Amino acid sequence: GAVVSQHPSWVICKSGTSVKIECRSLDFQATTMFWYRQFPKQSLMLMATSNEGSKATYEQGVEKDKFLINHASLTLSTLTVTSAHPEDSSFYICSALGLAATGELFFGEGSRLTVL
């Protein structure tokens, strides 16, 4: 099946620094990727929709200047958490929409961010 890979799997950074998380579709092209945030023992909250070659669409309440999304190719989307603070600590998950008619979503393994 299709594979979506996230990197890094976990990252620890100091408050005030920026962190970039990559989401790659390894064996298929994805014009659309989605970024979610998951707090401990809670559901996935959609942050933004990332479209290749265009600006991301952010959900209400998500700061676009805080969470920069770039989808420069059909296999790569990046999420950059700028000037990270402890409250940004979370599990970030991406998913990619396959091009097949079924339109199945494939999820990455997630990236755990801890901001000290």
Partner 1 sequence: AQRVTQPEKLLSVFKGAPVELKCNYSYSGSPELFWYVQYSRQRLQLLLRHISRESIKGFTADLNKGETSFHLKKPFAQEEDSAMYYCALAGGTSYGKLTFGQGTILTVHP
Asked if the bond preceding 8 is cis, omega within 30° of 0, the reply is yes
92 touches partner 1 (CB under 8 A): no
Stretch that binds partner 1, among 13-21, 42-50, 70-78, 81-89 (CB under 8 A): 42-50
- 3-state DSSP assignment of residue 56: coil
Residue of the chain from 11, 44, 62, 74 that contacts partner 1 (CB under 8 A): 44
**In angstroms, what CA-CA distances link 8 with 36, 53, 107, 110?**
15, 23, 15, 9
Q: What H or E segment, with its residue span, contains residue 50?
A: strand 44-51
* Residue 27 touches partner 1, criterion: CB under 8 A: no
With CB under 8 A as the contact rule, the residue among 21, 23, 81, 93 that binds partner 1 is 93
- Which range, of 11-19, 64-72, 79-87, 89-97, touches partner 1 by CB under 8 A? 89-97
DSSP state, residue 89: -
CB of 18 to partner 1, least distance (A): 25
